[in-house]
Structure 1
Amino acid sequence: MDLRSVPPGVVVLGGGAAGLSLAYRLMEAGADAVTVVEPPAGPLRPAERTWCYWERGTGDFDAALTATWSRLRVHGADGAAVTVDPAPLSYRMLRSGPFERLVHARLARSSGTRVLRATADAVRTVDGGAEVRCTDPDGRPLTLRARHVFDSRPLRALPPARTRLLQHFRGWFVRTATDRFDPAVADLMDFRVPQPRHGLAFGYVLPLAPDRALVEYTEFSRAPLTTEAYERALALYCRDILRIGTPTVESAEQGVIPMTDARFPRRTGPAVHRIGAAGGATRPATGYTFAAVQRQSRAIAAAVRAGRPDVPAPHGRRALAMDAVLLRALDTGRIDGPDFFTGLFRTLPAERLLRFLDGATTPWEEWGIGMRCPVGPMLRTAVELPFLPRRSHPVPGGPRSEESPG
């Protein structure tokens, strides 16, 4: 089956958060001939994932949300808790399954947008655009031509970086015999868990009902754990710290997110663009991606409508520079991770801190935040960074999640 006769338009590779979000924004902007290429059922389709983000007011995907929280809590390593109200922002959980069904339903109402189940094998530049060679579920070749291709498929290798940590985690969706959770409060970081020799670890609890929650164990370190090690850590966290006994585990999820100061190229050809995590949308110091994907998708759709398609940087230069310093300071052990993050939540207005984590603060606000950080270790790290070589690192194996605790 040859699709060369399809009117040239836009091809989006990948049907995850980045690909579907861009297709939806293009549809909203009135773009015609948009084709989303999603892998068919099988090993190339990822397991269901959880994405979390903060947003003010109503959002485009509220109909698919699993839960929202109006208050956030952080437990220090000393056991003291700080609970904050980030109004007008709220914290939101979106599962990939409901998100995909919602966006697919909206795309189906557009005559100029379609979803194609196929495996994208190769992308190459041709006169007037790009060509995508695919294989359909029956093994037949397909060829798509487009003016522009936006590729969200995972990278085979990470760009060279000075620092690379991993945010790796396993989570249980649990049910307890009695009510043990406050559905209004999300525990973003619970540093009461035992800390590893290198990096940091924390618990993460998102209540879904008084007797149901997503409970995760997360580490920032150089290498992931075995599934058995995550299971032990989760069991101890539930029993000794949350004191919920042995809950019923209804399902589990596990992921690895690179946290790196690598420079991600956003263009691999004149008409081939990288988007989402593959294009650097993951915030290096936190692992959050979904909100950056939305900003990037809106900007791309506006550029396509104006006739100048381009992929803007998902994060500003100041944010990336600060993240590079923080990652290096954490990796060298110059700052204590639990104390650092707990201190930010204890001393800063919650709404300002979340805007900072989203790259939406002013230089003056960032100066004030910087003065609450360990100035000496941070300055030493900032001075040495320009002299450090960038080295290649493999992409970590195992299931990936585009969003994670933080």
Structure 2
Amino acid sequence: MIKKYDYIICGAGLSGLILSHKIINDRYFDNKSVLIIDKDLSHRDHKTWCFWEEKESIWNDYVVKAWSNICFKSTNILKETHLENITYKMIKSVFFFESIINKIKNEKNFTIIEDEITEIKEDSVVKVKTKSNEFQSDFIFNSLFDLNSLKSSYPLLIQHFKGWTIKTDHEFFNDDVATIMDFSINQKNDTRFFYVLPISKNKALVEFTLFSKSFLADEEYDLELKKYIKKLGIKSYVIDEKEKGAIPMTCHPFDKNNSNRIINIGTAGGWTKPSSGYTFKFVDKNCEKIINFLKEKKFSKKISFKTRHWIYDLIFLHVLYTKNNLGKNLFEKMFAKNKTELVLRFLDNDTSIKEEINIASSFPKVLFTKSLFQNIGKILKYYF
């Protein structure tokens, strides 16, 4: 007999765990059975998730470092800002994963299995097949995604990065300030920048990030990291941790693949901010929407997680795709001409139309108007 659950979550990554966390913390779901299926719960790559939000939040227990001061750097600008209403926060994936999984294991209505999912399909019921079993559910939340399978008429850039958490032999870093973008490096016709996120005065994550159409050879990331650390003036250090990853930057309408009972979440649902690669807060917001939709019994494939900011992302990403060498200049203009907290709220899809007009006025009008008209067909098709 095929076992049936109220909800099945395919994949125990960021989106699957945040959704599980919200289900656990809402008494409405106490009697709902939840199955989480993941291929491998034992191996987790080191990842760092950064985001900005109010100082107090449900995620503070998982935050390893927070900053009230952030810095944007480029060749023509050095802008350090004290954040009045929000803080910039860092979560380490391994600690987050272990903490949430342990919490899930203590919940009687949750089941976790390690198995490889081979098929997800919807007939009169929705089914998940694995290599060793088959399950049914009322709703399936799928986070499984293969970047190589993404074929789309929408512009696609890859945000790819490699970071080293380094320790110096003396106090070097100002751990009150996080450098969220440093463009003062050779762009090589790409969009390239560094993060410097100090965890203490002698420990920091230094990360090299690119927005481009293709990857670099692994040794090129290492070379750029070494050059940048030397440029900072650090002569002696040890590498404590390494992390590497890639995020698709695309406005592809992933939610068009949803059905009334199968919802794609996380990267598979297009929940990464297309123009910046930021993910954590969008997963948080969209999982909250799912919780509310389930409680209100309003779930359907017509549910959209997009806002009008999707249009801005589409236009901006098209410009970067066609003129990737302009990335540095565009971010420079945005931060130079606007208050930092406004820029952060814009990147969080949390601005008014008036504020968005102010942001838009920072960019070259002819170039962005041309991009708008070149994408008007995609915009109309998506909304109508």
TM-score where L is the length of structure 1 = 0.87
Distance 1:321 1:332 in 2: 17
Q: How far apart in 2 are the matches of 1:266 and 1:62?
A: 34
Alpha-carbon spacing, 1:106–1:266, altered in 2? closer, same or farther (3 Å):
farther
Higher mean C-alpha deviation, range 99-108 or range 256-265: 99-108
1:102 match: secondary structure: helix
**Is the counterpart of residue 123 in structure 1 residue 123 in structure 2?**
no
CA contact (8 A) 1:335 1:377 kept: no
Partner of 1:398: none
Classify the secondary structure of the residue corresponding to 1:147: strand
- Shift in Å, 1:159: 4.5
Distance 1:41 1:297, change over 3 A: closer
Using the TM superposition, give the Cα deviation of residue 219 of structure 1 relative to its aligned residue in structure 2, in angstroms. 1.1
Show the counterpart of 1:177.
169
The answer on 1:352 being equivalent to 2:342 is yes
Deviation at 1:211, TM superposition (A): 0.4
Once residues 370 and 262 of structure 1 are traced to their aligned partners in structure 2, the CA distance between those partners, rounded to angstroms, is 22
Q: CA deviation at 1:87?
A: 2.3
The total of aligned residue pairs comes to 374
Q: Give per-residue Cα distances to partners, 1:363-384, cap 9 Å, x unaligned.
A: 1110111112221211122122
Question: Gaps spanning 5+ residues in structure 1: where?
Answer: 136-140, 390-406
* 1:381-400 map, 5 Å: 381-386=371-376
1:107 positional shift: 2.3
Q: Are 1:374 and 2:358 an aligned pair?
A: no
Residue 141 of structure 2 corresponds to residue 145 of structure 1? no
- How far residue 48 of structure 1 moved from its aligned partner, in angstroms, is 2.4
Q: Which runs of 5+ in 2 are unaligned?
A: 380-384
CA contact (8 A) 2:319 2:371 kept: yes
Question: How far has the Cα of 1:266 moved from its partner?
Answer: 5.2
Structure 2 CA distance, aligned partners of 1:319 and 1:5?
41
Give the direction of change, closer, same or farther, for the CA distance of 1:144–1:280 in structure 2 (3 Å limit). Answer: same
**Which amino acid letter does the alignment assign opposite residue 33 of structure 1?**
S
Report the counterpart of residue 248 of structure 1 in structure 2.
238
Q: Is the 8 A contact 1:296 1:313 kept in 2?
A: no
1:331–1:267 CA distance, 2 compared to 1 (3 A): closer
Letter of the 1:383 counterpart: F
**Could you give the per-residue CA deviations for residues 262-291 of structure 1, whole angstroms, max 9, x where no partner exists?**
111354444211111100101110001110
Q: 2:298, 2:70 → 1: CA distance? A: 41
Answer yes or no: is the 8 Å Cα contact 1:325–1:381 preserved in 2: yes
Question: Using the alignment, how far apart are the partners of 1:232 and 1:132 within structure 2?
Answer: 44
Are the equivalent residues in 2 in contact too, given 1:335–1:374 (CA < 8 A)? no
- Report the CA distance between 1:41 and its aligned residue: 4.8
1:11-59 Cα distance to aligned partner (Å, 9 max, x none): 00110110011112122332210111122257xx551211111110322
TM-score (norm 2): 0.91
State the identity as a percent.
Answer: 25
1:277 to 267, 279, 284: 267
CA pair 313-178 structure 1, distance change in 2 beyond 3 A: farther
Candidates 6, 10, 14, aligned match of 1:13: 10
What is the identity, as a one-letter code, of the residue corresponding to 2:283?
Answer: V
- SS at the partner of 1:160? coil
1:203 equivalent in alignment to 2:194:
yes
Tell me by how many angstroms 1:258 deviates. 1.3
Alpha-carbon displacement from aligned partner over 1:100-145 (angstroms, at most 9, x marks no partner): 1222233234322222222222112132x3111123xxxxx12211
1:236 aligns with one of 221, 227, 235: 227
Cross-structure match for 2:382: none
**Residue pairs, 1:204-353, within 5 angstroms:** 204-240=195-231, 242-265=232-255, 267-310=257-300, 312-316=303-307, 318-333=308-323, 336-353=326-343
The aligned residue for residue 79 of structure 2 is: 82
CA contact (8 A) 2:160 2:245 kept: yes
* Distance across 1 between alignment mates of 2:50 and 2:255: 25
User: In structure 1, what is the Cα distance between the partners aligned to 2:305 and 2:67?
Assistant: 25
Aligned pairs for 1:131-170 (under 5 A) are 131-135=127-131, 141-155=132-146, 157-170=149-162
- Residue by residue over 1:139-162, the C-alpha shift from the partner in whole angstroms, topping out at 9 and shown as x without a partner, is xx1221111111011135115133
- Deviations along 1:182-219, one digit per CA (max 9) or x if unpaired, are 1111111111111112x211111100000000001111
String of CA shifts for 1:314-347, please: whole Å, max 9, x gaps. Answer: 331x211111111122222287322221222222
Distance in 2 of aligned mates of 1:14 and 1:53: 22
CA 1:388–1:315 in 2, change beyond 3 Å: closer, same or farther?
A: closer
Paired with 2:7 and 2:377, the residues of 1 have a C-alpha distance of 41
For 1:380 and 1:307, the matched residues in 2 are separated by 42
Q: Secondary structure at the match of 2:358?
A: helix
- Which residue number corresponds to residue 394 of structure 1? none
CA contact 1:329–1:335 (8 Å) conserved in 2: no
Letter in 1 for 2:49: W
Greater helix share, structure number: 2
